[in-house]
Amino acid sequence: MKDTIRRIHELTASLNRQVRFMEVCGTHTVAIFRHGLRTILPEEIRLLSGPGCPVCVTAVTDVETAIALTRFGDIILTTFGDMMRVPGTKRSLFDAKAEGGDIRIVYSPLDSLAIASANPEKKVVFFATGFETTSPSVAGTLVEADRRGISNFYIYPVHKTVPPALKALLDSGEVMVDGFILPGHVSTVIGARPYAFIPSLYHKPSVITGFDAGDILSGIRMLLEQMAAGVASVQIQYSRVVREEGNPRAVAVLEEFFEQEDAEWRGIGVIPGSGLRLREKYRHRDIRSVYNPQIARIPETTACSCGDVLKGVKTPPECKLFGKGCTPDHPVGPCMVSAEGSCSAFYKYQAVPGIRL
């Protein structure tokens, strides 16, 4: 690792300018802080967080729709724990639960299926959030529901896909980055090929990176080497897990059950082709085929800078609410809710000696 760090400093010095890299994945953001990597990187390297936290990018409208579903007396809503605290307009799922909604935390969609099996008189809905990493497991649960004849299991799908979001950021003209640290978990499923547009259209180096300190530092070194050579490509540092073609079986499952649709990303807006909805064959498993609250699109609060944080335009401390009106105990925006949210990570580590924000 010492050789990698020395090489990073040499390459940065040779470039003789500030370098801005975006880590797309929230797990990378937390790992960078946890390992104290900012303290050993040259000051010329600035790391920016991207839209890689699925909780953070779930739109207010989708949170409000999930809350509205709990008002139907025959529904049990199941969700991952982080989603419970994400604020809607005024309330969260925790608030809805306190008001009598039957909302249960699960650790996988299969847990939700078990609840449906045990409560045949209820409609059990899994709030299906996440990226390409979790979507195949949701599809697999639908297969299992059909196999076991569990007809009262539904999903409310708000899955999102990473590559269209990166393209939207690059097209926006707001995001000034020199390269991308691409997500390891998502890339385990989709591989490297869906990111090919980044170097071909925008001439930005990209590296799919693992999550330990050595992985991330190696990824940064690889980005700097591309810049120093004046080239741009998608490289795989995380080669012990990620293949160029990804996981063909998982990709086939995604294509079998889901099709692309436009999706709203919290703080960013509607991104064409970035969402996944069930194909017509399976749409009877979408709870909206039974109950559809049809919540109108809800604008974001202007006080919270979560959108700019997710786009890498601002760092969390640059938000006027950070650490004041917005804390992990009283989050205003979703970036402060999730353990993988940028604001939460910055808040947690801001008082650690030697940590450079």
Say yes or no: 189 and 337 in one domain: no
Say yes or no: 179 and 131 in one domain: yes
134 pLDDT tier (thresholds 50, 70, 90) = very high
Q: Which residues touch 42 (CB under 8 Å, ≥6 apart)? A: 8, 9, 12, 13
41 pLDDT tier (thresholds 50, 70, 90) = very high
Say yes or no: 83 and 188 in one domain: yes
Q: Is residue 356 part of a domain?
A: no
On whether the CB atoms of residues 274 and 165 are closer than 8 A, the answer is yes
Q: Which domain holds residue 102?
A: 1-303
Share of the chain above pLDDT 90, in %: 71
Under DSSP, the state recorded for 312 is: T
Say yes or no: 254 and 333 in one domain: no
Which range (110-124, 242-256, 264-278, 324-338) has the least confidence? 324-338
Say yes or no: 100 and 230 in one domain: yes
Pairing of strands 269-278, 258-265: antiparallel
Distance, in Å, from the CA atom of 321 to the CA atom of 131, rounded to the nearest integer, reads 28
- The three-class DSSP label of residue 322 is strand
- Structural domains counted in the chain: 2
Q: Is residue 237 part of a domain?
A: yes
Q: Is residue 214 part of a domain?
A: yes
Q: Is residue 29 part of a domain?
A: yes
Say yes or no: 296 and 332 in one domain: no
CATH number, position 75: 3.40.50.11740
Say yes or no: 240 and 312 in one domain: no
Which range (62-71, 152-161, 316-325) has the least confidence? 316-325
Q: Is residue 331 part of a domain?
A: yes
How many other C-beta atoms are found inside a 10 Å radius of the C-beta of residue 294? 8
Say yes or no: 155 and 175 in one domain: yes
pLDDT for res 333:
80
| pTM of the entire predicted model | 0.89
- The three-class DSSP label of residue 160 is strand
Say yes or no: 299 and 310 in one domain: no
pLDDT for res 263:
95
Q: For 35-68, give the secondary structure using H, E and C.
A: CCHHHCCCCCEEEEECCCCCCCCECHHHHHHHHH
On whether the CB atoms of residues 260 and 273 are closer than 8 A, the answer is yes
Strand pairing partners for 205?
A: none
